[in-house]
Structure 1
Amino acid sequence: MLIQIQTIQPSFLLPIPITLEVNISRGIKFHIAGNVHSSIKENRQRIYTTLKNCGWHWPGQRITLNFRPLEIQKSGSHYDLPIAIGILAASGQIKSSSLDNHLFCGALQLDGRIEQTKNAFNILESASLCGLNKVVIHVESAESERIRDFFKGIEVINVSRLAEVVDYLQNNKIPKVPCNIPENISHDFFGCFSEVKGLAAYKRALEIAAAGNHNVLLNGPPGIGKTMLINRFDSIMPPINPQEVRLVEMISSKLERVYSKWRPFIKIATVQNVKSLFGSIRIQNLHSVFMEEEVASKLSQISHDGELGKFHNAIGGALFLDEISSYPKSILDTLQIHLGDSNVQVLMAMNPCHC
């Protein structure tokens, strides 16, 4: 019997949709195809032991797994759950009709427990773009409740064990998860802007910049308080606009950063290289994509791995570059390219030239 299951492959930001085909026929071998990493081939023994420990039968026939699309290399332990469910469905041990419009993701332990899934927001974003309305993952209860507010049309099936997944598919029984909604997350400011006395001209400039999302360069003698003042800039930044929330949440999920209503504020204390500040070359070439309205659908079409830089971590917020005059020319040239095509507010401070 041939079974198709939807899952994902992590990418530089949004996961890439992957279709897993499981076929069981006469024979005794176990085959894996579809440009897979060796780590997935090692999953066989772990899944075999997990199914046995949970009371399920391992089919003594030829099992073929095929991952599509072929041009993307697949790796990671999160394929454990879709593979296990696919084998159970293809062997007739559970109903295969209940797999439609579902996305499965999760790593299995030998006793049947499912490890918590990181980057849950971006997984649901990918499922939404693919038209899937049910996602089977294991996330914290508070995280599950929060991401449900973003994806009203997607049902999050929060499971912690393989037996709960089977029970849901067989009997449509959704496991009850205790809801532990944390209190409102407080933002840890460096200090309040109102604490600074004097520097009226600098304060006025920063207030105008915060209100209009302008870039700022403070130039003045050393020791007068430029750095101290900009360090308090996040205390006067406005809340995130509704149009920016989705992209900021996507980046927060990728960085495993706790999301809040406050804009991100990234401080660079030492001179960085171009890659650490602006990401890999492929990501640098995509700087204008982060400004487009349909950014999620654009990013979902990018199938390569990449590395985000600290500049991207500040999208939707502000990036503080202290002593900007000490940065090498390569960084300044790259910064000039990104300033006009990004929604990052750049704050800079420097001392007057010695000449």
Structure 2
Amino acid sequence: MKNQILKSICLIVAILLVHVQQGHASGTVVGNGGDPVFEFLRATRESMNATMKFVLNQPEEKEKFCQSNRLSVEQVQFCRDFFFKVGHQILTLSSGDKPTDFVLREEPLYVQGPDGKAMSVAARTSLGPEGAIEFHRDSMRTMAPVQVLFLITHEFEHKVLFEGRAVTDNEKIGPFKSGRDLLDAVATSLVSVAKRKGKIGSQFGIRDLFACDASNGTGQFGAQIAGSRLFQDENLMTYETSVGGNPMEGSIYFQEDYNSVLRLKFVITEPNNCGEETNGRKTVVQILRSKATDKGRDETVVSTVIFADNPICKSNLRMIVRYGEIQFSCQYFASEGTTSSPFSTILGKK
């Protein structure tokens, strides 16, 4: 068979050279693979940053920002003035040299409500630029990207200084009955721009990134490939991620002859987001022979290796599969959240 293998090497890559920023987090993070909810927050932060930069750098956007039938003329102008005075402060806090930390909490979060009593919230932060923004995990995991964008924007508005002081939720400010009303008006307008300009999607997803090598005895090449997680429960703890499982995921392959290739496929099954419960955790790595036929492509498995582990949980695990002189080798190196994807996160029912 080795004489049939062409020296030319073909490559399909769904995601090329993806740059992944390291997260800034503390507090509760579930599993060695990282908490998917935190990845959602990080992706939404990037959406907020991109939207704010767009608004701040487009003069025509200033005329439309905060426009709403629900606001008076005075409120629209105050809302607009507030945003353009604090916008660059928010960007510095969110994307500067030392960006504000995001912290996930399992326990409920409380703040003082308008009546002076404690009320449960999905997020909270201290007033002013110091300190992290805390998020309640169970609240966040059920929110759509636009809801999370609204919430993150609101919390960052608490951390900037306007006319020398931070804005609170319950005190009156300008023509607004409360600071909360002002901050919500700004956040609503920013979400509107993000939706209009495609900076935020309708659903969250996680891409798992792998560094892969392929060799055939005479040549070798490498590629960075991404698989998209398919979540199996609403708690986002159980999932499957794969490379080469469908045409949109991408894979790597060697051309065998004019209508046949040998390609890589692997499927990772994770029962507990890298927690101690490992029953059902496995990775199936295969080489498939894919032939063109009149009815499409016919695929046959020619080699299989099964690992009783998950390379996302055990990052030093290298997945290796061989067939003759053909060898494919992959290792996990990062994950990133997305707010929109052609094969985005799906919450399935058990």
Q: TM-score, normalised by structure 1?
A: 0.26
Q: Which has the higher helix share?
A: 1
Select the structure that is richer in strand: 2
Q: Which has the higher contact order (CA 8 A, sep 6+)?
A: 2
